[in-house]
A and B are shown apart, each in its own frame.
Chain A
Amino acid sequence: MSRKILLVAMFAVLFGVFATSMIELETLFNTYGKTYFLEHGYAETGASNLVTAILLDYRLFDSLFEAGILLIAVSGVIWISKHDVEEKNAKFMIDKYKTPDLFITFARLVYPLMLAFGFYVIINGHISPGGGFQGGAIVATAILILYYIDANKETNIGLIVTVEKILYLLIVLMASISIITQGAFFTNFFNPSADADLKAIYLVLLNVLIGFKVALGLWTIFTAFLKEGR
C-alpha cells in the first residue's frame, strides 16, 4: 500500500511538471518543419502525401532500419520459438474449437477484398493515406484470415524468410541507387527538379517492396506464434 501511495505521489509531481511544460509549449511552439514540408514537400519529392514523402525520401535512412527491425524480430522470434532444448512444461494444445461456419464463409468472401485493399493502399501510398508499412500490414492480415479458414494450413517458413531477406537487400539497393545518379545516399534516384510523375515511379517501386517485405515479415511472426499454440 505504501508503495502505491509513493507511486501516486511521484506521478503527481511528474504530471504537474509535464502539464506546466505543455502550457509553456503553447506559446513557444515552433512550426519551422511544418511550413518547410508544406512549401517544398511536393516539389522536392513528388509525393502529395507528405508522410510518404518523409518516410521514403527525407528520412529514408530511418525507414531502412525500421524494416531492419522487422527483419531482426522475424529471425529472432523464429530462433527463439525453435524447440531444441528440453522444456518440461510445454503442453501442446490441439485446436479444440472449430471455427464457426458463418465465419469461414464470410472470411472467404472478405479475403480477396482485403487483399485488394492492401495492394491499393500500397500502390497509392504517395497520393493518398497509406504506404508500404500500412498496406503490408493489411495484406498480412488478409493472409492470416486463411488460417481461420483452415487451421492446419502448412507454410514453408524457410522460403518466406529467405524471400523477406532478399526483399530487404533489394530495398537497400534501391535506396542507394541515388549515390550514382544524385551523388548522395538514400533519396529518389531522379533529380529533384524532375517531373512528379517520373518521381512517382521510384515511390511506387519502393512502397511495393516495403509492402511485400512487411507482409511477409508479419506473416512469419504470426506463423511462429501459431506453431507454439499447436
Chain B
Amino acid sequence: MSQIPVILIFLPVLTALFIYLFKWRHMHLLALLTQTGMTILAIVYFLHFKDQFEATHIILGGWSDVRIGISLANDGLSMAFIFLTLFMWWSVLTYLYRFGKTEHTFLFFLMFLQGVFLGLLQSNDLFNLFVFFELTTIIVTILIAYKKTGESFRAAIYYLLLNTSGVLLFLIAIVMLYNLYGTINIRVLSEVIHTHADTTILKFAYVLMMTGISVKAALFPVFTWLPKAHGVAQSAISALLSGLIVKGGIYLFFRINFLFESAGLPYHNIFFILGLLTALSGIIFALAQKNIKLMLAYSTVSQIGLIIMGLSSPDITTFYGGVLHTFNHALFKALLFLGAGVIIAVYRTKKLDEIRGVFRTMPIISVMMIIGMLAITGMPFFNGYISKSIIKYGFEDSVFRTLALYLVNIGTTTLFIKMSHIFFGPKMLSYPMKHRQQNITLLLLALACLVFGNFYVEIMDAFFGIDYAHITRISLGGLLDYGITVIIGILIYLYVLKKDVKLVKGIREFKISFETANILFIALLTVLTFYFVIL
C-alpha cells in the first residue's frame, strides 16, 4: 500500500516504453488502460492515507537513516495535484484519441512525461526534484518541437536554454544547503532550517532557488518563453503546458516556501509585487494580440500572476484560494485551449479577424467555450468566481491589493469580450469534419468547471481541511461586481482595442530578444538578492 507512489511513477513510464517497443495498432488503448489503473490506485491510496499523511513518507531502498537516500512523501497538496495530473492526462489522451492511434512516438513522450511529473509532485529530495525538473524540461522541449516546423524549433530551443539556466541556479542552491545541513531531504531540512536562519548563505540559496523556479513558473520578467512555446505547440500540448507544466513551477514555489518557512524570510510582499507585475504585463500583452492562441497564452501569464498574488499571502485561507485558482485555471484554460484547437483545425487559421460564425457552425463546442470564458472572467456559479472571491476576501484590508485585483479582472474580461467575436457571424458553409470524442473531452472539462464552482466547500475540506463556507456561491455584490466589470470591459474594447490605436500596435510588435530575456533573468536574480540578502 505504502509503495503505491513508486508504482504511480513507473506505470506510465513502462507503458511508454511498451508503446515505443511494440508499435501495434491499438497501443493507445493500452495508454487508456494504464490511465484507468493509475486512477484507481491513486483513489485507493488517497482513501487509505486520508487522515494520516505523516505515514506516506517512504525511503526508497529502505534505509534506516532518513537523511541518506531518496524519499517520497505526500500530503493533501500533492495528492490534489496528482488527481489534477491524472485528470489532465485523461482529457489530453481522449482529445488526441485519433492522433494517438498512429503517432506512437508522441504517445511515448506524453506517457513518460506523466510519470516524470508525478515524480516531481511526490519527491521529497532536493536533487531528485532537480532531476525531474530537468527531465520535464527536456520532454516538453521535444513535445514543442514535435511538429518540426521552423517556428517550433526556435520556440523549443528558446524554452530549453532559458529553463536549463534557471534549473542550474536551483542546483547551486542544493549544494549550499547540503553543505550547511548535511542532508537534502526536504522534510528533515524544513525541521532544521531555522538553525542557520540569519546567514547570508541560506538567504542566497533561497534566492537562487526562487529565481530558478520563477523561470519555470513564468513569472515577470522571465515569462517570455511561454507565449512562444504555447503559440506553436499543438493545442493539446498547449493545454497541458498551461494547465499543468507551468503549475509544476508554482507547485515548487510553495514547496520551497514551506521548506524555508521556519527561517522566517519576508517573501510575502516581494512576491505579491512580482505576481502583480506578471498579471498586468500578461494581460497587457494579451489584449494587444490578434492570434487566438497567443491571446490565451498571455492570459495564462496573467492568471499565473493572480495565483502568485494569492499564494504569497501570509493568511492561510487566501493561500489556499491561490491553490484553488491553480486548479480552476488548469480546468478552464485547458477547456479554452482544446476548444480553440478544434476551431483552428476547422478554420485553418489562428487569426481572430478571420474566424467568424463559430456558434452557428459548431454549437456544442461554442457552448463549452462560452462556459470556459464565463469561468475565467469570474461569473457566479462557475469556478473562477469562487477562487477569485476567496483571494478578494483575503485582500479586503488593503485598498491597493483590492484595486490591483480589480484591474487584472477587468483586463481578463476585456480580453474575452474581444475573443467572443469569433462566435458571431454567418455559418461556415463547408464544415469539414466531426469531432465527436473531442466533444466528450470538452464536456468533461466544462462539467469539472461547474463542479468546482458549486461543490468547492466539500472538495477543499476533503483535501486540505479548510472551511470555505463563508464564500457563497452567489451574492448580489458578486453579480454587481461582475456586471460592472463587463461594462467597463466593453467600453475599453470599443474605445481602445477596436480602433487598434498606435499604442496597441506597438505592444503587439514589441519583441524581447533572447539576450534581453537573459539580462532580465539576471536582473531578477539581482533584485531578489538585494531584497533578501542585502536589505
Interfacial residues, chain A to chain B (CB-CB below 8 A): 3, 6-7, 10-11, 13-14, 17-18, 20-22, 24-25, 28-34, 36-37, 44, 57-62, 65-66, 68-69, 72-73, 75-76, 79-80, 82, 84-85, 162, 165-166, 168-169, 172, 176, 178-179, 182-187
A169 to B134, CA, bound (A): 21
Are B60 and A60 in touch, CB under 8 angstroms?
yes
Give Cα distance in the complex from A82 to B179, angstroms.
Answer: 45
> B62 touching A182 by the CB < 8 A rule?
yes
- Across the interface, do A21 and B68 meet the contact criterion of CB distance under 8 Å? no
Q: How far does the alpha carbon of A67 sit from the alpha carbon of B464 in the complex, in Å?
A: 36
Most buried by B among A30, A34, A60, A172: A30
Chief secondary structure at chain A's binding surface: helix
Contact B201 A65 (CB under 8 A): no
How many Å lie between the Cα of A24 and that of B201 in the bound state? 7
Tell me, rounded to whole Å, the shortest Cβ–Cβ distance linking A92 to chain B: 18
Distance (whole angstroms) from the CB of A41 to the closest CB of chain B: 10
Indicate if the CB atoms of A14 and B525 lie closer than 8 Å. Answer: yes
Count of B residues near A, CB < 8 Å?
Answer: 62
Please classify the interface of chain B as helix (H, G, I), strand (E, B), loop, or mixed, using the class held by over half of its residues. Answer: helix
- Bitwise, B158-193 to A at CB < 8 A (1) or not (0) is 000000000000000000101111110000000000
Max chain B Cβ within 10 angstroms of own Cβ: one of A3, A65, A85: A65
Q: For A10, what are the chain B residues with a Cβ–Cβ distance below 8 Å?
A: 522-523, 525-526
Q: State whether A185 and B135 are in contact (beta carbons under 8 Å apart), knowing that A3-B519, A79-B146 are contacts in the complex.
A: no
Residue in A33, A73, A84, A172 whose beta carbon sits within 8 Å of that of B138 in the complex: A73
- B273 interface residue per 8 A CB criterion: no
A21-B199, A32-B182 known; A162+B21 contact, CB < 8 A: yes
Residues A183 and B182 in contact, CB atoms below 8 Å apart: no
Question: Given A33-B178, A72-B135: A7 and B62 within 8 A (CB)?
Answer: no
Return the CB mask of B107-128 against A: 1 if under 8 Å, else 0.
Answer: 0110010001001000000011
Known: A75-B108, A165-B20. 6 other contacts (CB 8 A): A7-B519, A21-B176, A28-B199, A61-B70, A72-B135, A72-B139
Contact, CB under 8 Å: B519 / A30: no
A18 → B minimal CB distance (Å): 7
Shortest C-beta distance, B450 to chain A (Å), equals 37
B204 at interface (Cβ–Cβ under 8 A)?
yes
- CB contact list, B68-98 vs A, under 8 A: 68-70
Is B54 part of the contact surface with A, judged by Cβ < 8 Å? Answer: no
- Report if B444 contacts A (CB, 8 A): no
Q: A13-B529, A166-B21 are in contact. Are A69 and B522 (CB under 8 A)?
A: no
Q: Which residues from chain A contact B422 at a C-beta distance below 8 Å?
A: none
> Contacts A10-B522, A61-B60, A185-B6 hold; do A17 and B529 have CB atoms under 8 A apart?
yes
B17 touches A36 (CB 8 A): no
Docked-complex contact A185 and B138, CB < 8 angstroms: no
